[in-house]
Structure 1
C-alpha cells in the first residue's frame, strides 16, 4: 500500500519540488541577497555615464601610481618596440620594395607630426586601456604634401565621437539610425561615425548640435576597443570594476602619509615669568636666554644634549601614531585586488617580487603573456594594424608605387609582435633548439616568434660566414677542431 501511495504523487508536483531544490542561490531573494540590485539593462544602456567613467579613469592615470603603472605595463607588453608587418611575397626584390613603401609610410604616419606608426601603436593601446577605446581616422594627403605614401593616420580620443542616439539627423541617410554616435544602416552595419570638429574638452561646446559634428564614412575610420558584451558599440576602461576601490585606497594611503607627516611635528614650550631687570642666564651655557618677538625663550637643541631644567619645569614630547603593524599587508591585499581587476599581474603593477620564486614568476609571466597575445591577435592587429596596411596599399596604388595587381600581395602580410625576453636564456634557447631538432617546430617558426624574418636572418648569417672566410676568421667549431 505504501508503494502504491507513493506512485500516485502527481508528476507536476514532483517537478516543482525538484525545481525548488535545484535553484541557483544567486537567483534567490532571501536575506543574503537583499539589497543586491542587478538591472537587466542591455549592453549599450549599461554604459550610461560613459563620459564620467572615462574622465575618472583618466584622472586615475594622471594622479594615482597604480593607474599610471597599469597603462604603462600594458603598452610596454602589448607593443614593445612595435608590431611589424612581414610581406609574404616570394620574389626577394618585390618583397624589399614592399618593405621600403611601408617604412616610408611608418616614418611619417602621424597626422599630428609627433610619432611614427609604432609610437602610434603604443599611444593607441595605452589610450584603450585608460579610456576604453580609440578611433583611427585615415587622412589622405595631396601629392604636393611631400609624402612618399600620400596617407597619414590620426588617432582620435573617444570624446570625439559623442554618445548620441538619434533615429534621424541632418545628413544621415533615410532608414539609418545613430547609436552611441555610430551610424548604423538598415541591417545594423556600421556606415559612418559622427565626430566633433574639435575635441569637446578643448572648446566651449556645451550641447551637441548638428553643426558641431561631421559625418566620417566607416571606410575612412576604424574603431579599436574590446567589446564588454555582445552588441556593445563602445568600450569601457579596463579597470572600471576597481576604479572606486582604486580611489579609496589611494585616498587612504595619502591620509596615512599626511598623518605621519603631521604627527612628527611637535613644539616645546618653556615658560618663564621674569619680573624685569637683567636677562635670565642659561645655567648650562652661562649665556643670556634670548627671547623671540613674542617674548618666548628660544632654546637651541643639539643631538645628545642633557638639559637640566629648573625646579617645576617639565618637557613632554609627542608620540605620533604609526601606520600600524598590519598596514603593509593590508595595502598589499588592496593592490592585489586592483591588479586583478585591471588584468595586470601584481608583481608587474607594483614591482613587488618579494617571496616570488622563479617557478612562480614563470607561471605569472606566461599567463600574462597569453592575455597579451590574445589582445594582440584579436584586437590590435585586426582592428588597427591590418586596416592600416590595407589603406596604405590603396594609397600606394593611387601614388603609382604599386600596381593594382600587386595590391593583394602587398596587403597580405604576417604581423610580428615584439618578441618576449627570455626568462631563463640558457634553458629557453636549449628548449627551442631541442624542439627544432626533434621536428616539433620549424626553425622559421622559432625565428618568427622572436619577431624576425627568417630570410633576413639567413642572409645575415651568410654574410657573416662570407666575411669570416674573407678575413680568415675561424668559427667556434673550427677553432675547437683545430
Structure 2
C-alpha cells in the first residue's frame, strides 16, 4: 500500500495521462488489476445466474438472446465439401444431411438446432460444451456418432489444483506441462438441478479429444467464457424495477378514490353508515354537510419515454444488438440509420460465425464425423487415410442475410457479376447455398421446362445467354436465307445484249 500511495503521488506530480490521475473526479474509480480468469472465477457463476434470470423474466433480455441466435445461425451454418469428384461429393452431402437428424444425443433437435442452442448459450453464459459420444453400429444411426450439449455450470469454476508430474487443473480444465488441454472435469449432475438423483459434486474426467469448448474470449489468456449480459445486467434489472413502479403508480392512479368528509355525529355511539359505492355514470346525492375530495396522483410527465429510449440504447450497445432488434421498436430510426446499424451488426455476426462457431464447433464436428463415417463403412472414400486433409476440406455457408431493399440489392449483385467483380459461385455462397448444387437444379429445371415447352426466364435476362433477346428474329432470318437465291457472285454472269 505504501508503494501504491507513493506511485500515485509521483503520478500526480509529473502529470501525464489524465485517466491515471487520482484527483477528486476519479477518486471513486477503483479499477481492479486482477486477470480476467480471477474475475470470472470470483463472479462468473453469479453473472450467468443473473443473465438466465433476466432472460426468463425480462422481455428485452429474452428478445436480445433470440435475436442474436437467429442472426448467428438462422437455418444453420451448413458445409459444402470441396471434393473434386462430383458423385462422391453428392453422396457425402446426402449422408451428412441424413445424419444431422441423429446428431443430438437428447433427440430434441438436429445439428443446426444444436448450433442455435450453442449460440444462445454463448450469449447467455459466454461458453458451452459439447461432448462427442461415439455409438455402436447396431444403434441404427446413419453415422454412429452423437453430440451431448453441456452448459457452462457443468464445469466447476472453483476446481484448481496441481497434479502429480507437470500437469494442473485450472477452472475445471486439465493442462499438461506445455499448456495443452488434455481433459475436462465435468460434474455428473447439474449443481442446480434438484430433480437429478445423481451424486452432488461428483466429477468425471473426459479427454479433451472428446470435448468441444465453444467460447468467444475477450482477453488474452482467458480460459472460460463470460456472459454478454455482464455490461447490461445492472441497467436491465434497475430499468425493470422502474417499469414495475410506473405500472403500479398508473394502476393506483386509475383507481378513482374518493374521501367523504362528514360532520361529527350527534351521538358518538351511533354506528356509522356503510361506505358509499360509486359506479360509472352514477349520480349521488350527499347528505347536508358532507364533502367529497379526490387525491391528487403524480404523473410521470414527458420524461418517461425519453428516459426509456436512452436507457435501452445503452443496453443495446452493451449487448451488441441494434436497438430495433432489442425492443422491436422500428419507429425510432429512418431507413438510412437502420441500414447502417444492420451493416455494422452483420459484420460483427459474420466475424463470430467464422471465428467462433465455424472454427471451434463446425470444423471439429465435421472432422470427427468424417473419420467415423469412413471407419464405420457409411461411405467409401478411397485413400482417405493418406488424403484425409483433402477429403475433409469444405466451405461453411451461413444462412443468407435478408435483403434490406430487394430490388436495389439484387440489381447491384447482378451488376457486380456482369462486370466481373464477383463470381456467381461467390454470390450463391453468400446466400448460404452450394453453387454446384444450384447449377444442377437449374439444369434439371431447364430440361423439364424444355420438355414441356415452357420458359419462365425473363426476356433479356442474363440467364438466357448472349443474344437470347433476339433469338427468335435470328431464327426467322435464317429461314429466309435458306429460301433466298444464292449470292450474286455464285450466279452466272448475264450475256451481253447483241
So what's the TM-score if we normalise by structure 1? 0.86
1:416 aligned partner? 397
1:361-399 CA distance string (max 9 Å, x none): 110100000000010011110111110111111211221
CA distance in 2, matches of 1:97, 1:67: 43
Residue of structure 2 aligned with 1:430, choices 411, 416, 426: 411
Deviation at 1:459, TM superposition (A): 1.4
Q: Does 1:199 align with 2:186?
A: no
Unaligned runs of 5+ in 1: 1-16, 277-292
CA distance in 2, matches of 1:41, 1:119: 37
1:66 aligned partner? 60
1:119-176 CA distance string (max 9 Å, x none): 111111001101111011101111111111000001100111101343345xxx6321
2:436 aligned partner? 455
Q: Structure 1 stretch 258-267 or stretch 437-446: which is displaced more?
A: 258-267
1:28 aligned partner? 21
2:491 aligned partner? none
Deviation at 1:471, TM superposition (A): 1.2
1:333 aligned partner? 310
CA contact (8 A) 1:127 1:133 kept: yes
CA contact (8 A) 1:175 1:186 kept: yes
Q: Structure 1 stretch 248-257 or stretch 415-424: which is displaced more?
A: 248-257
CA contact (8 A) 1:105 1:392 kept: no
Deviation at 1:299, TM superposition (A): 4.5
CA contact (8 A) 2:184 2:207 kept: yes
CA distance in 1, matches of 2:127, 2:191: 17
What does residue range 95-174 of structure 1 map to in structure 2 within 5 Å? 95-168=89-162, 174=165
1:164-196 CA distance string (max 9 Å, x none): 343345xxx632100011001101111110001
CA contact (8 A) 1:195 1:216 kept: yes
CA distance in 2, matches of 1:119, 1:433: 33
2:233 aligned partner? 243
Deviation at 1:472, TM superposition (A): 1.2
So what's the TM-score if we normalise by structure 2? 0.83
CA contact (8 A) 1:54 1:237 kept: yes
| Structure 1 residues 163 and 18, CA gap change in structure 2 (3 angstroms) | closer
CA distance in 2, matches of 1:237, 1:297: 55
The alignment partner of 2:448 has SS state of: helix
Q: Does 1:259 align with 2:249?
A: yes
CA contact (8 A) 1:82 1:418 kept: yes
CA contact (8 A) 1:98 1:410 kept: no
The alignment partner of 2:128 has SS state of: strand
CA contact (8 A) 2:12 2:21 kept: no
1:288 aligned partner? none
1:5 aligned partner? none
Deviation at 1:89, TM superposition (A): 1.1
| Structure 1 residues 398 and 272, CA gap change in structure 2 (3 angstroms) | farther
The number of aligned residues is: 443
1:377 aligned partner? 354
**C-alpha RMSD of the superposition:** 2.7
Deviation at 1:215, TM superposition (A): 0.6
CA distance in 2, matches of 1:133, 1:32: 37
The alignment partner of 1:152 has SS state of: strand
CA distance in 1, matches of 2:258, 2:243: 29
Residue of structure 2 aligned with 1:363, choices 311, 316, 340: 340
Deviation at 1:307, TM superposition (A): 4.0
CA contact (8 A) 2:370 2:392 kept: yes
Q: Structure 1 stretch 226-235 or stretch 468-477: which is displaced more?
A: 468-477
CA contact (8 A) 1:397 1:404 kept: no
Q: Structure 1 stretch 319-328 or stretch 419-428: which is displaced more?
A: 319-328
CA contact (8 A) 1:192 1:215 kept: yes
CA distance in 2, matches of 1:23, 1:404: 67
2:43 aligned partner? 49
CA distance in 2, matches of 1:268, 1:52: 47
Q: Structure 1 stretch 428-437 or stretch 462-471: which is displaced more?
A: 462-471
Deviation at 1:18, TM superposition (A): 12
1:277-317 CA distance string (max 9 Å, x none): xxxxxxxxxxxxxxxx98515555333x5544443222223
Q: Does 1:227 align with 2:217?
A: yes
CA contact (8 A) 2:121 2:127 kept: yes
Deviation at 1:256, TM superposition (A): 1.0
| Structure 1 residues 259 and 299, CA gap change in structure 2 (3 angstroms) | closer
Deviation at 1:456, TM superposition (A): 1.5
The alignment partner of 1:202 has SS state of: coil
The alignment partner of 1:200 has SS state of: coil
CA contact (8 A) 1:167 1:176 kept: no
CA contact (8 A) 1:83 1:418 kept: yes
The alignment partner of 1:224 has SS state of: strand
CA contact (8 A) 1:264 1:320 kept: no
Deviation at 1:25, TM superposition (A): 0.6
| Structure 1 residues 92 and 350, CA gap change in structure 2 (3 angstroms) | same
Deviation at 1:463, TM superposition (A): 1.8
